[in-house]
Amino acid sequence: MNPAIAKLVVAVVLDVADFTIGRIPGFEIAFDLFLGVCAVAMWGWPGLFAFWELADPTGQADGFVPTMTMIALTQMGKGKGKKSLPVDR
């Protein structure tokens, strides 16, 4: 499996978890911190964008934004000069 696609799948799974268990009061801040660490581990500096979710201590606003998926989509195809999705010619 293409590593970029694998990271996208992981990102979608983590966002779905954020939409569900990440909305538990008192747990959302810890889960957002966990997601930020995961994002930095997967994408490096661009993953720091995931920490914006900590700005909402209620966890209500950031629950509707698939941050990990958006980072994964922006990072697909970057790295080693390869395109991750083939283009039909």
Domain regions of the chain by residue span: 3-75
Report the interhelical angle of 67-75 vs 28-43 (nearest 10°): 10
The terminus-to-terminus CA distance of the chain in angstroms comes to 23
pLDDT at 58: 73
pLDDT at 87: 52
* Residue 11 CB neighbours (<10 A): 25
pLDDT at 13: 95
Sequential DSSP letters for 5-55: HHHHHHHHHHHHHHHHGGGSTTTHHHHHHHHHHHHHHHHSGGGGGGGGGGG
pTM of the model: 0.79
DSSP three-state, residue 89: coil
pLDDT at 26: 79
pLDDT tens-place values along the chain, 89 residues long: 788 899 999 999 999 998 888 788 878 888 889 999 999 999 999 999 999 988 887 777 777 889 999 999 999 877 655 554 555 55
